[in-house]
Structure 1
Amino acid sequence: MPGQVTTLWHDIAEWLRQNAPASASEIRPPASDALIAQVEAEIGRPLPADLREWWQQSDGVEEPELAFLLPPGFAPLSCREALSQRAMSLEITASSPSGGPPIDEAGDERAADFHPLFLPIGTDTLGNTLCADLRDGRRHGCVGEWNHEAGWDDALRWENVAAMLADVRAALVDGRPALADYASRRGQRFAGRDVDTPVFSAEVTDDGELEWTDEEP
């Protein structure tokens, strides 16, 4: 039987083929076992099962600018691009470290330096990435945003890759707003302060590309 991620990705890809064909056409074929093994060798540990299964369905996209499949506007990265983005972020951190101690537990605690166990899996093409957090701890495998200016700050978006894809599927197939759980956590965390807590709906441009539109929850 197909796994959860396989089923979720099938539904996402099918919706895109029917409704956003320009974005669907950018989806790459599955990554080979050798490519996935190369990522694991570079990271120095196994990938979470859901991330491995996702790359076994599709090795990212060809042209990120045409395939922002992940809310609020990130394109899935291939195995090779994931390693390239990681190497670039580590190089930037090495050239101007914050001087703070590394935080070695996965989760939402603020980190100013890019950690070697952050693995980029999505890009907004502007220097920001969605990363699988492969540090140890109960939130190992969670997905957060590395911001090229703010770092890992209020970063946690989903508990894992499977939850991310379930959120995308619900937005596309069922018409539910994406990132609602994150918006709720953010509202509670910053209660009484003037912060945005948008959720995102899926729209399709006249050119057949998926885009995400923010709205108040």
Structure 2
Amino acid sequence: MQTIWNRIEGWLKIYAPEALDNLLPGVDDDDIQEIEVELGYQFPEDVRASLRIHNGTIDRFADIWGLLNVDDILRQQQVQLKVLRSLQEGVVWWWYPHLLPLASDGAGDLLCVDVAPELKERVGQIIQFDHETGSHWVAPSFQALLSAFVDHLESGKYALDAFGNLKSKEFLFDRPQLPPGSKSKYY
């Protein structure tokens, strides 16, 4: 993760230095372990490594997404669990407690890491939770998501918008990273 964040920061220094101020400093292992105890789940190592480098962002960072800090991860998880409990019985698609929010669009949708997937799925996969339509698979891991992001940065697919946020014309950050011929899985 350090190499990926070095590449992101290197690109930002050259092309969008003001966006560097959006990155929060990392947290230590004690902070991560504390939030894991409160969540009842452990983060995959790539998420832990990223949080040690940058504990989220202040505002939107890539397209519509802002990276959550550990306090906001817990807060978003608690909000979703509260909504799930308030819904009538049988509405199971709303939220899966084993999805831990990592990014938010500020309008109710989240990018989450799956820490307890179904049998044939991969621990650490990234799932987009859409509060209106359900959820779908985005990437095999947080590392893969950030790696694709920095590849897009370096290939010129992102630029700063009028508000100082990184935007791609095609909203690439949460686009599923599927092998050719594959179809996205919905939950």
Q: What residue in structure 1 maps to residue 70 of structure 2? A: 79
TM-score, with normalisation over the residues of structure 2? 0.83
Shift of residue 44, structure 1, vs aligned partner: 2.2
Please say which of residues 80-89 and 166-175 is displaced more in the overlay. 166-175
Give 2:90's aligned residue.
99
Q: Which runs of 5+ in 2 are unaligned?
A: 172-187
Partners of 2:114 and 2:125 within 8 A in 1 = yes
| Contact map agreement 2:73 2:101 (CA 8 A) in 1 | yes
Matched, 1:159 2:140: yes
What's the C-alpha RMSD, in Å, of the aligned pairs? 2.0
Residue in structure 1 matched with residue 161 of structure 2 by the alignment: 205
* One-letter amino acid of the counterpart of residue 111, structure 2: L
Structure-2 residue corresponding to 1:53: 49
Q: Which residue of 1 aligns with 2:179?
A: none
Residue in 2 aligned with 1:130? 111
Structure 1 residue runs of 4 or more that deviate by more than 6 Å after TM superposition: none
**Counterpart amino acid of residue 85 in structure 1:** Q
SS in 2 for 1:47: coil
The match for 1:33 among 12, 29, 38 is 29
Listed one character per residue, the Cα deviations across residues 166-210 of structure 1 (whole Å, up to 9, x for unaligned) are 1011000133xxxxxxxxxxxxxxxxxxxxxxxxx3122255431
Aligned pair count reads 170
Given that residues 97 and 113 in structure 1 are in contact (C-alpha distance below 8 angstroms), is that contact kept between their aligned partners in structure 2?
no
State the distance in 1 between where 2:163 and 2:109 align: 25
Kindly indicate whether the alpha-carbon contact (under 8 Å) linking 2:41 and 2:98 is maintained by their aligned counterparts in 1.
Answer: no
Structure 1 length as normaliser, TM-score?
A: 0.72
SS at match of 2:116: coil
Are the equivalent residues in 2 in contact too, given 1:133–1:140 (CA < 8 A)? yes
Unaligned runs of 5+ in 1: 103-111, 176-200
